[in-house]
Structure 1
Amino acid sequence: MAETDKTEGEKLESLLRDNLESTAKILKDIRFIKKSLRWQRIWSVFRFLLIVVPIILGFIYLPPLIKETLETYRNLLIR
């Protein structure tokens, strides 16, 4: 009986070691995935700003320039 307990204990210890190794690998993979997701969020915000900021600046700064250009063009047509 003591011999079966020993082999069962060894089996249990072996299973626990395998479980710890698997858990360590999973944690490593999860860290990699979290880093990847963080960079994806950063790049998506950067791309969004790269598109939206010029559009907003265009709405702010272009109307006076367009108005001035149209007035110059109208003056050329009238002459």
Structure 2
Amino acid sequence: MARNPRVKCPVCKDTYAGVPTRRTGMVSVHDHKRTPRALVLCEGSMVHVPISDAIGWQDELPEPGAESAAPMVELTLF
């Protein structure tokens, strides 16, 4: 049975399972609570973090239809 990689939570620094994401080389920290019986999740739950032994990482792609803030360059042909 395949196991999820173990990663450190960026907030509480404990080690938890990394849940696969759609980004290459990245996982999200599994949901975990601040204290064992609390109802409030840690702020680091479901944050995307890089896998330590990954060869490469993929940046998050923009949503389809989102307008870019950079102006387009106009070409003039002579």
Specify the TM-score bucket, using the shorter chain as the normaliser.
under 0.3
**Larger strand proportion of the pair:** 2
Max Rg structure: 1
**Larger helix proportion of the pair:** 1
TM-score normalised by L of structure 1: 0.20
